[in-house]
């Protein structure tokens, strides 16, 4: 048993190391599972084909529709120019003097509106860079500001968030994405305020030290070039759309021949600037937008319509439409004998994203033939993110099947017999190890979900509170340095972990963990709200 436990720890260390080194999780997860099996003496082939692969396939079967529609939605929002226009409108309202607040709020709006975190990174970096330049704020704070807007309160705390991290708990606790709205709003507000206080404190601190926007970054000093490394990074594409934060960091280094999300390529117009969507070309074809890779919205109202639709349709289906419909047929054996509660959250988000996609297509009917290509690109770009996360889930299933995992289970419930505490501890710990909120939460709930749900019912703890606390717990320790979204964010911004991870870690790891921990006794005292 002790050797098996050592094998699990070694496999976890290997998974973290490989992910940090940029090895795709699709490869790293089965290799790490192999190490755990060798130490435990478990049959390798049987565990791979009968445990790893079914767990991987089950995750894809459940969540691929959300990854698919999310990736397509994000791609169309960037191709239509809506994501960039939303960012510019919000930043123009707030002005460069409030560059930090403008960056955080705009990122939050795009994330809560249904655009995946990887797409948001590429949309926001060029705009945040110009805002920081105008306000003369040190560039090292850009990753922290973007991380605060996309990896914290909008991803797990705010009720109705269409991100997959807010959908997964609903499958285990039969709740919706709007579970415990008061608790989510309270937690999200506290996280937002504390994060902004930290970023403003850091701005004053760095400015007092004499740091400026124009100061060369570590990468620039290393390369001996004075050019903005981040500008080149903005032209890269990692493949649009992982709602998962555990996608391999190596994807950040991939390039595409077609324009990536939130960035346009410099070919055709000869500007060499991949971030300015306002450039035009006299030779552009009438059937294609004048700016390669992005349309120009006819006005500043259009870009907000799809984002608003995501919320309205999600809310309407969850609170009004679905409860009024007859779902008795779901008890049929061919539908698995499920109830509406098992799928309501996922179906509402899926319907909302599909409706928003149709709205984008309708609003761009003149360019329909060209923009339909975004559906193909988005579908293609959904594959790697979901396989990354599903591979982590397969790894977790193998580990959970080993005899030594009983010691880990006992350790988790040894911390507390309270269902809410046990759920938060298990989810947060496994998310931190895997570097993935969605992957860690799925592993934890697959292994302990039924036991946690029954325990919560016996202890009189609201399942809605279980949903909200579990989701928020997943969005804390997952932001370790090997997290795929963190690695991509820092690379795109042209920074190093040494320069920027401190701020990313405080706003997306330390603060969410502390707030979640503080909310647990409140829930146990007053209940869900």
Mean pLDDT of 145-172: 94
Give the predicted TM-score (pTM) of the model.
Answer: 0.79
Distance of CA 420 to the CA centre of its chain: 23
More confident residue, 314 or 15: 314
pLDDT at 416 over 80: yes
**pLDDT, mean of residues 153-163:** 94
> For residue 294, what are the β-bridge partners?
291
Please state, in angstroms and as integers, the Cα–Cα distance from residue 71 to each residue in 246, 261, 350, 473, following that order: 15, 10, 12, 25
Cα 107 to Cα 143: distance, rounded to the nearest angstrom: 11
- What is residue 325's predicted lDDT score, i.e. its pLDDT? 93
The pLDDT of residue 225: 52
* 91 to 27, 95, 167, 492: CA distances (angstroms): 40, 6, 30, 20
| Mean predicted confidence (pLDDT) in 280-287 | 34
H helices then E strands: how many in the chain? 25, 0
In percent, the amount of the chain with pLDDT more than 70 equals 86
Closest CA to 177 of 357, 353, 348: 348
Angle between helices 117-135 and 142-150 (to 10 degrees): 140
Give the contacts of 369 (CB within 8 A, at least 6 positions apart). Answer: 287
Other beta carbons less than 10 A from residue 30's beta carbon: 17
Q: With bands split at pLDDT 50, 70 and 90, how would you rate the model's confidence at 210?
A: very high
What 8-state DSSP symbol labels residue 164? G
The angle at the Cα of 161, spanning 456 to 246, to the nearest 5 degrees, equals 85
- What is the spatial distance between Cα 116 and Cα 453, in angstroms, rounded to a whole number? 29
Q: Taking the CA atoms of the chain, what radius of gyration do you get in angstroms?
A: 22
Q: Is the pLDDT of residue 287 over 60?
A: no
Task: Give the pLDDT mean for 360-389.
Answer: 87
Q: Are 79 and 202 in contact (CB under 8 A)?
A: no
Per-residue confidence (pLDDT) for residue 102, from 0 to 100: 92
Residues in the chain: 529
Residue with tokens 């963190």: 486
Beta-carbon count within 10 A of 347 CB: 18
How distant, in Å, are the alpha carbons of 117, 280, 388, 405, 469 from that of 422? 28, 56, 26, 16, 11
> Does 348 have pLDDT greater than 70?
yes
More confident residue, 457 or 252: 457
Q: Phi/psi at 291 (nearest 5 deg)?
A: -95, 120
Average pLDDT estimate for 394-410: 86
Task: State the DSSP code for 291.
Answer: B
Q: Rounded to whole angstroms, how far apart are CA atoms 124 and 187? A: 25
The answer to whether the CB of 67 falls within 8 A of the CB of 241 is: yes
* Distance between CA atoms of residues 79 and 73, nearest Å: 10
């Amino acid at each position: 048993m002790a050797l098996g436990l050592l094998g699990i720890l070694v496999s976890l260390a290997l998974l973290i190391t490989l992910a940090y080194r940029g090895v795709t999780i699709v490869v790293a997860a089965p290799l790490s599972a192999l190490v755990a099996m060798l130490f435990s003496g478990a049959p390798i082939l049987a565990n791979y084909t009968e445990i790893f692969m079914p767990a991987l396939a089950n995750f894809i079967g459940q969540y691929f529709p959300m990854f698919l529609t999310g990736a397509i939605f994000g791609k169309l929002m960037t191709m239509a120019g809506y994501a960039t226009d939303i960012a510019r409108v919000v930043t123009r309202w707030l002005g460069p003097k409030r560059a930090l607040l403008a960056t955080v709020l705009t990122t939050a709006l795009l994330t809560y509106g249904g655009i995946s975190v990887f797409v948001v990174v590429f949309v926001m970096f060029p705009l945040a860079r110009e805002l920081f330049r105008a306000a003369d704020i040190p560039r090292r704070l850009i990753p922290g500001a973007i991380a605060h807007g996309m990896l914290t309160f909008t991803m797990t705390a705010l009720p109705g968030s269409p991100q997959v991290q807010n959908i997964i708990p609903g499958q285990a606790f039969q709740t919706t994405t709007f579970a415990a709205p008061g608790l989510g709003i309270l937690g999200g507000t506290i996280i937002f305020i504390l994060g902004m206080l930290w970023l403003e404190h850091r701005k004053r601190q760095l400015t007092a030290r004499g740091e400026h926007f124009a100061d060369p970054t570590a990468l620039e000093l290393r390369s001996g070039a004075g050019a903005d490394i981040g500008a080149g990074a903005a032209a890269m594409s990692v493949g649009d759309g992982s709602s998962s934060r555990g996608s391999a960091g190596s994807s950040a280094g991939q390039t595409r021949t077609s324009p990536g999300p939130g960035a346009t390529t410099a070919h055709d117009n000869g500007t060499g600037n991949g971030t300015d969507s306002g450039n035009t070309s006299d030779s552009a074809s009438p059937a294609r937008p004048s700016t390669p890779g992005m349309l120009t919205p006819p006005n500043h109202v259009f870009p907000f319509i799809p984002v608003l639709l995501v919320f309205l349709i999600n809310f309407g289906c969850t609170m009004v439409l679905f409860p009024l419909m007859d779902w008795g047929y779901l008890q049929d054996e061919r539908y698995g004998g499920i109830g509406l509660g098992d799928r309501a959250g996922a179906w509402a988000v899926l319907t909302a994203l599909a409706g928003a996609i149709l709205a984008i297509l309708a609003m761009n009917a003149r360019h329909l033939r060209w923009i339909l290509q975004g559906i193909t690109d988005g579908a293609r770009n959904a594959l790697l993110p979901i396989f990354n996360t599903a591979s982590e889930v397969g790894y977790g299933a193998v580990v959970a099947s080993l005899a030594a995992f009983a010691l880990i289970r006992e350790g988790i419930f040894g911390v507390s017999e309270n269902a809410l505490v046990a759920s938060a501890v298990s989810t947060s710990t496994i998310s931190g190890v895997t570097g993935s909120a969605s992957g860690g939460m799925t592993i934890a709930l697959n292994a302990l979900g039924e036991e946690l749900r029954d325990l919560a019912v016996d202890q009189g703890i609201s399942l809605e509170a279980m949903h909200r606390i579990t989701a928020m717990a997943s969005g804390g320790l997952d932001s370790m340095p090997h997290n795929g979204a963190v690695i991509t964010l820092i690379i795109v911004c042209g920074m190093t972990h040494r320069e920027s991870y401190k701020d990313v870690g405080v706003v997306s790891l330390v603060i969410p963990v502390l707030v979640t921990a503080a909310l647990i006794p409140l829930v146990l005292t007053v209940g869900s709200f």
